Amino acid sequence: MLSQALFEYWHILALGTAMIAWRIWGHHVTAYMRRMDQKRAHADLQAMYDRANPNSHFRHSVEQINEDTPGIEPDPRQPGSYLWEGTLFASREEAEAARWHHVLSEARSFYRDLDRQLGNRIAGRGPADTIDGSRQ
């Protein structure tokens, strides 16, 4: 008798279970959806900016190399020090600076190799052409 009632009204039980689950986990779902909408809106805005900017491929190249470069890890033997590519650094800022310098040098070498492959003449860079004003 009870099993027959459960079988006939299973959709009402499923709806009740879904309503209870929404009361428990609904705010997590809506927060996740808001984050995804923000990421999508940011990506759309960045794509619109990239269409208007003829030099956006430089940013794309640096982002790709940054994603491909391994991250910094804390050294388990020495707390407060960090490892990157086998080199030990005293602070995370030093390790991040070394990693970022590596990313930028990889991007520069990529474009130099691209110029050589395409047969373009490579001009020397002046101090005004760099971010920090130093000659590379």
> pTM for the whole thing?
0.57
Integer-rounded Cα radius of gyration of the chain: 27
Model confidence pLDDT, tens digit, residues 118-131: 776 655 555 555 55
Residue 10 pLDDT: 84
Residue type, 55: N
Low-confidence ranges of the chain (pLDDT < 70): 1-2, 120-136
Read off the tokens for 68: 């491909």
Rounded to the nearest 10 degrees, what angle do helices 10-52 and 56-68 cross at? Answer: 130
